[in-house]
Structure 1
Amino acid sequence: MQTRVVPLEEGKDPSLINKTNQSRALPLRLFQLFGLFLALCIAFTFISIYTIRFFGVQSVVTTVKSNFEPCFEKEKPNGLDNWIKPPSNLMHTMSDKELLWRASFVPRIKKYPFRRVPKFAFMFLTKGPLPLGPLWEKFLKGHEGLYSIYVHSLPTYEAKYPSSSIFYGRQIPSQISEWGRMSMCDAERRLLANALLDISNEWFILVSESCIPLYNFSVIYHYIMRSKYSFMGAFDDPGPYGRGRYNENMAPVVNISQWRKGSQWFEVNRKLAVNIVEDTTFYPKFEQFCRPACYVDEHYFPTMLAILVPNLLANRSLTWVDWSRGGAHPATFGRNDITEEFFLHKVFEGQQCTYNSQPSSTCFLFARKFAPSALDPLMNISSKVFGF
């Protein structure tokens, strides 16, 4: 048996030659695998881009549209509702300056492009609770849609009316008001301005917690609705409590011949309410030069309106008060005063005034001052005496 001898080149080991061939083959195979992996990645990338572009993005856009389109639609004007619908919440963050400016908006076209039912705005100027509230509830029952209620109380007072009450949620943002000072007129202007935000309010009636209605709602509504004038006293009092309170520093904006006096409790229509809230001419003079013993709430509005719109004033108040006892405040009536005879002979009897320039014996639609103790007897006689 012969052994085959393979000649070897000098210096070359067969095992080294085999290892060299393997090392050359390995990088080639890795390169091929890397190339295949890279090709797969590129293909996957293109497929992903294609899928996102034609499927994913469209679904995202659709989702975005479905999420944001309703919000965009809410921001669009919704017809006249944004302008004619009264505020759902009377509490707001407007300052007095902002509120008066907003309330002074007036449409230039007088004919309304919708069915407008004119309403009363009953504006209660009070320190806190409304002890005679049940009587007002009885008076207004069944006349929803023909009235609005606004309550200005001390800012520290927390109203706790039940949700069924007509006074529930009717408090406006308030500030402290002091009798005889400009802060009292500020409160009245604040009430007017808030009430003007409801475009359907046509007549604005200022009352206090001690006021009561003297007739049923229908009688009062038609009496005021048919009147050619607004009811505010504005007379020239030559005595110490009239012209005697005039300050010469108010000229030439207000001359002494234009100085007027009247009751704090008034009823004005929408035009006069706007005149009051938009005033920046008379306000500074009265604020600076009509301070106690000049009681500004008796002179500011009467003087201003007598200068601006004297032909629109009835020059009398609709609220009955009894000054026969003398003093700085009218008489207050409690439980023992409330009888049918009291109203028939003291309040209703002997009334003489003019209504639409004609003589009338119906002059007062409201009365004050009535104490909380008067509530029960007032409720008992209201149907027979007042008609509600």
Structure 2
Amino acid sequence: MNDVNKAMAVFHSHIGGKLLNVVPMLLLFSLGFVLGMTSDSKFPNFYLSSVASSPSPAPLPPQNPQVGLARFLEPPSVMHNMTDEELLWLASMTPKVRSTPYHRAPKVAFLFLARGDLPLRPLWEKFFAGHEGLYSIYVHTDPSYTGSPPEDSVFYGRMIPSQKTMWGDMSLVAAERRLLANALLDLSNERFVMLSESCIPLYDFPTVHAVLTGSNTSFVDSFVNHDSEVRYNPFFADRSNITLAQWRKGAQWFEMDRALAREVVSDDTYFPAFREYCAAQPSCLMDEHYIPTLLSLIGWRHNANRTLTYADWRIGEVHPQTYGRDDVTEDLIRKIRGGAGSGRNCTYNDGANGTCYLFARKFAHDALEPLFRLAPKVMGFG
């Protein structure tokens, strides 16, 4: 019995004591398991706070959604923070594959070069009404302009990042290139129309869209004008090898296709020379020479050498005739549509066509009311 007592004493001293230490741990573990089966509201506060402070496991990375071609072709926002250099570089890109793997209606980009408000905006809104998806609008205003069309207007949110312009200066050409570049970012834009705040449409939208998208040429004034040779300077020959024989003149209000628009925005050979010249020559009037001369320099053949925007220069001033409220009549609009005073051949795709002009300028602010009244009867919209 003494031996048994000794064995029990050894068990208690070496093993029994350790079991007593383990028992509380087992009880705590059991308590935690039971509490885990209940709601979080029954957890002790100290336990919940320790859980909340512990780092959560990293979430699994989300699966990248598939982005198809349709998403890629969505028109980009007109607001961005690109510099002109970045914008022109991006807009100059073109796919090498000639055929397109998608089908979309060709759009006409309407580029408005304005000081601020568009006083004839209600007339243009009637013109665009019901033809969504067939046009894009881009507006370049003075950077100081803080106004905005109403939210229900097609012009709302269409002002691009702009810079200051001056009459007769190369800053106007820079604004034209800026408008073209923004419009080129929308791959559905196939034709590009430069307009001012004093321009009006002479026909309804379907007619304008059909004439422009159906043409195999651009419509840019680019002609030899001996009276304008006084504006040529040997500086151009020294700076960029532009000769007098290559010198051209024309109205800045153009209608061009996508291929020519890319040529204009990607020109980094001749544009710097014009800009440098105008920096030392206030009112250099190069807005009438840069694009017409560029077409001559690059040998552009797909051009009708005429504009589709009418202006009456017969008064012999530095600005064309301005039409006010009392000037706007049915007879005036019909004469302009018929090519009054153009003195040019209004052929279309190498064939006879009666459409000499699609747009006209300059119309004053107070001409809106009679224009609005004549639009349904004469222009075919409204």
Please give the range of the TM-score, normalised by the shorter of the 2 chains.
Answer: 0.7 to 0.9
- Of 214, 220, 224, which aligns to 1:226? 214
Map 1:245-264 → 2, pairs under 5 A: 245-251=231-237, 252-264=240-252
The equivalent of 1:9 in structure 2 is none
Distance 1:311 1:349, change over 3 A: closer
Q: How far off is 1:362 after superposition?
A: 2.0
SS in 2 for 1:157: coil
- Of 235, 260, 269, which aligns to 1:272? 260
Q: How far off is 1:166 after superposition?
A: 0.4
Q: How far off is 1:39 after superposition?
A: 8.2
Q: How far off is 1:83 after superposition?
A: 2.4
Matched, 1:363 2:356: yes
SS in 1 for 2:206: helix
The equivalent of 1:52 in structure 2 is none
Distance 1:163 1:289, change over 3 A: same
Tell me which moved more, 372-381 or 219-228.
219-228
Q: How far off is 1:159 after superposition?
A: 3.1
Does the 8 Å CA contact 2:222/2:305 hold for their aligned counterparts? yes
* Counterpart residue type for residue 69 of structure 2: L
SS in 2 for 1:236: coil
Identity %: 46
Distance 1:43 1:236, change over 3 A: farther
SS in 1 for 2:64: helix
Does the 8 Å CA contact 2:308/2:357 hold for their aligned counterparts? yes
For 2:246 and 2:122, the matched residues in 1 are separated by 42
Q: How far off is 1:317 after superposition?
A: 0.7
For 1:122 and 1:180, the matched residues in 2 are separated by 22
* Counterpart residue type for residue 247 of structure 1: N
**CA deviation map 1:330-360 (0-9, x unaligned):** 1111111111122234553545522222344
For 1:224 and 1:368, the matched residues in 2 are separated by 19
Map 1:136-215 → 2, pairs under 5 A: 136-215=124-203
Does the 8 Å CA contact 1:319/1:366 hold for their aligned counterparts? yes
For 1:73 and 1:278, the matched residues in 2 are separated by 35
* Counterpart residue type for residue 95 of structure 2: P
- Of 206, 221, 238, which aligns to 2:226? 238
For 2:339 and 2:297, the matched residues in 1 are separated by 33
For 2:289 and 2:324, the matched residues in 1 are separated by 30
Does the 8 Å CA contact 1:245/1:293 hold for their aligned counterparts? no
Distance 1:287 1:139, change over 3 A: same
The equivalent of 2:286 in structure 1 is 296
* TM-score where L is the length of structure 2: 0.83
Distance 1:309 1:269, change over 3 A: farther
Map 1:79-158 → 2, pairs under 5 A: 79-87=68-76, 89-158=77-146
Q: How far off is 1:81 after superposition?
A: 3.1
* Counterpart residue type for residue 64 of structure 2: E
Structure label with greater radius of gyration: 1
Distance 1:222 1:42, change over 3 A: same
* Counterpart residue type for residue 37 of structure 1: N
The equivalent of 2:304 in structure 1 is 314
Distance 1:102 1:349, change over 3 A: closer
Q: How far off is 1:270 after superposition?
A: 0.5
**CA deviation map 1:207-227 (0-9, x unaligned):** 011000001111111111221
Matched, 1:385 2:378: yes
Q: How far off is 1:160 after superposition?
A: 2.5
Does the 8 Å CA contact 2:339/2:356 hold for their aligned counterparts? no
Map 1:49-60 → 2, pairs under 5 A: none
Unaligned runs of 5+ in 2: 1-8, 33-50
